[in-house]
């Protein structure tokens, strides 16, 4: 028996003692295969899941290394049944392989004949498989490569896709050589992606995911389709590609609500691709408009269902997903795994911070006490409206203003999820708002004013959750969110993580209404960042911000 920081339980939960001297080393060791579930102050709870274990297996971790980590850090003997289960679960990955046979085309080969027989009898694979070739091999209809991988994952037998990729239409792309080079972790990410052929790269916000995409394009030297969250993000990609590669403006097309350009490198928004006319998706033919050699999915954790469906048909194309967190609140991480590919590279946020590539951040949850009237209104509100009632309480207004005034020389982002609350805050703080209805031209104007320092405070709706480049932002104040969304929390912290010229710290505040569901959702949102090593300090609004704050009518 050792005095390790981890307690491994037979129900596949792992309890990590946060204050233990080996806690950080343990966290790093288990992060590739265990998912954080709860993160209170002293003990964090992780869980072993099949998808987490398969992802680590696809990334090159074997069962022996996982078992060794559990035994090394465990305080008590690890249940033998759990170790057996870990080994057997990981062993399920790759017993089936998708291959390109020179005679029969796409085939499913079973390294275990019994498993191949078992899945071939499943009704869930009806129409996907062709004729049996021999005891180890079954033909696969070429168009079913993606859907077959999805179905096999759900059957508990995830296939290793070794069928390869078409090169696509060649297009010369080189990285520019004028005074910049890839950071070591960016090069490792590109190498990891290219070695696997397709998959996901997970890097913190502000760590240069766009540059990883550019380097992957320079490696592929082929026509590339880049899918982004919005037009502003697409234009940021275009600026970066022009600055960092040999591509010219004429080689890069924008396919958005405003423009419909198809060029060797085409940047399209998820929104326009998933727009319907007469019930049909009229723009999905963009996927077949050229012989793409590479498809890049920016913010892959936000991938809409129609794009998943079409991606099932793109399995012969190299696919790169970029994200700060693979967490999806809809539980479709399995679809990312099977259709985009497994996680090929994942850099812990604190590692990148310690290397100086992102700013250190202080995370503070500021709890406010509602007035009697607000508490009464909350108590009688219907259950489905209670979060909005708590999150948009007017008692938060002076707290937000005091936090802005606490950082008089910093540039501040105030971020929320309810438009009426944000408009009230905009008036209260005398600050402009960027929301979904803000035109792209106006967004660019406000972002430029913020970057130049002309504008010190900016109020953002959910459009601020991702893909905006505001490196000068040093303070983010979150007033409301999408219930308990972990990926949203990570994206919002990411808005202030660009390294500051003088090395100063970033500040991330969450203003929460005490004794309401707002507090519960805040705790859930913080889970992913807690897994990355960020400690949230919980403070009372009055203690931090001085005497009792004035109430707002």
pLDDT at 11: 94
CATH code for the structural domain at 359-545: 3.40.50.300
Paired residues of 109 in beta bridges: 97, 137
Phi-psi sector, 483: left (phi>0), alpha (psi -120 to 50), beta: left
Question: What are the extents of the domains in the chain?
Answer: 6-92, 96-161, 184-352, 359-545
| CATH topology agreement for domains 184-352 and 359-545 | yes
* Residue 430, pLDDT score: 92
Q: What is the pTM of this model?
A: 0.82
Q: Which tens digit of pLDDT belongs to each residue from 421-448?
A: 999 999 999 999 998 888 888 888 998 8
> What single DSSP character describes residue 168?
-
Degrees, nearest 5: CA angle 154-160-163: 120
pLDDT digits (tens, 9 = 90+) for 227-274: 998 888 899 999 999 999 999 999 999 998 888 899 999 999 988 888
User: Which of 4-13, 127-136, 324-333, 361-370 has the weakest average pLDDT?
Assistant: 324-333
The domain made up of 184-352 is a member of CATH 3.30.70.2740: no
Q: What gap in Å lies between CA 477 and CA 425, rounded to an integer?
A: 12
Q: What is the mean pLDDT of the chain?
A: 88
What tens digit of pLDDT does each residue of 392-402 get? 999 999 999 99
For the stretch 59-78, pLDDT in tens is 888 999 999 999 999 999 99
**pLDDT greater than 60 at residue 410:** yes
Q: Describe the crossing of helices 63-73 and 23-30 by its angle, rounded to 10 degrees.
A: 160
Asked if pLDDT for residue 549 goes beyond 60, the answer is: no
- Decide if pLDDT at 356 tops 80: yes
Backbone dihedral angles phi then psi of residue 149, each to the nearest 5 degrees: -65, -40
How high is the pLDDT of residue 303? 85
């Amino acid at each position: 028996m050792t005095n390790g920081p981890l307690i491994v339980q037979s129900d596949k939960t792992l309890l990590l003692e946060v204050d233990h001297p080996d806690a950080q080393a343990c966290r790093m060791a288990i992060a590739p295969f265990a998912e954080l579930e709860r993160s209170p102050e002293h003990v964090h709870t992780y869980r072993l899941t099949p998808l987490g274990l398969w992802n680590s297996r696809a990334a090159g971790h074997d069962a022996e290394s996982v078992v060794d980590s559990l035994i090394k850090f465990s305080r008590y003997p690890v249940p033998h049944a759990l170790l057996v289960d870990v080994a057997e679960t990981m062993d399920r990955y790759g017993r089936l392989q998708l291959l390109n046979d020179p005679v029969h085309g796409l085939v499913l080969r079973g390294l275990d004949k019994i498993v191949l027989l078992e899945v071939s009898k499943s009704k869930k694979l009806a129409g996907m498989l062709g004729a049996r070739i021999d005891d180890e091999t079954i033909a696969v209809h070429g168009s079913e490569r993606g859907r077959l991988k999805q179905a096999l994952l759900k059957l508990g037998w995830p296939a290793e896709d070794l069928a390869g990729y078409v090169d696509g239409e060649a297009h010369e792309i080189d990285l520019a050589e004028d005074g910049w080079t890839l950071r070591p972790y960016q090069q490792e990410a590109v190498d990891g992606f290219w070695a696997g052929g397709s998959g996901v790269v997970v890097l913190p916000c502000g760590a240069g995911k766009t540059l990883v995409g550019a380097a992957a394009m320079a490696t592929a030297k082929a026509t590339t389709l880049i899918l982004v969250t919005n037009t502003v993000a697409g234009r940021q990609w275009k600026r970066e590609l022009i600055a960092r590669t040999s591509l010219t403006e004429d080689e890069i097309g924008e396919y958005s609500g405003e423009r419909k350009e198809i060029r060797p490198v085409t940047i399209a928004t998820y929104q326009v691709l998933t727009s319907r006319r007469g019930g049909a998706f009229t723009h999905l033919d963009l996927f077949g408009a050229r012989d793409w050699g590479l498809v890049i999915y920016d913010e892959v954790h936000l991938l809409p269902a129609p794009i998943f469906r079409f991606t099932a048909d793109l399995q012969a194309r190299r696919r790169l997903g970029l994200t700060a967190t693979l967490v999806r609140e809809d539980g479709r991480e399995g679809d990312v795994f099977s259709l985009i590919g497994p996680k090929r590279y994942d850099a812990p946020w604190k590692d990148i911070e310690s290397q100086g590539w992102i700013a250190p951040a202080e995370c503070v949850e500021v709890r406010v006490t509602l007035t009697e009237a607000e508490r009464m209104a909350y108590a009688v509100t219907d259950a489905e409206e209670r979060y909005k009632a708590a999150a948009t309480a007017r008692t938060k207004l002076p707290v937000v203003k005091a936090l802005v005034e606490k950082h008089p020389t910093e540039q501040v982002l105030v971020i929320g999820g309810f438009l009426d609350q944000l408009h009230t805050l905009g008036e209260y703080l005398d600050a402009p708002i960027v929301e979904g209805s803000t035109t792209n031209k106006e967004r660019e104007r406000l972002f430029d004013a913020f970057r130049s320092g002309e504008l010190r405070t900016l109020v953002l709706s959910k459009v601020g959750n991702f893909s905006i480049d505001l490196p000068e932002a040093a303070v983010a104040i979150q007033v409301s969110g999408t219930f308990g969304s972990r990926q949203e929390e990570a994206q919002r912290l990411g808005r202030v993580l660009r390294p500051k010229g003088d090395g100063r710290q970033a500040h991330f505040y969450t203003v929460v209404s005490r004794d309401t569901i707002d507090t519960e959702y805040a705790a859930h949102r913080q889970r992913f960042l807690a897994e990355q090593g960020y400690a949230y300090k919980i403070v009372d609004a009055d203690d931090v911000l001085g005497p009792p704050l004035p109430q707002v009518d």
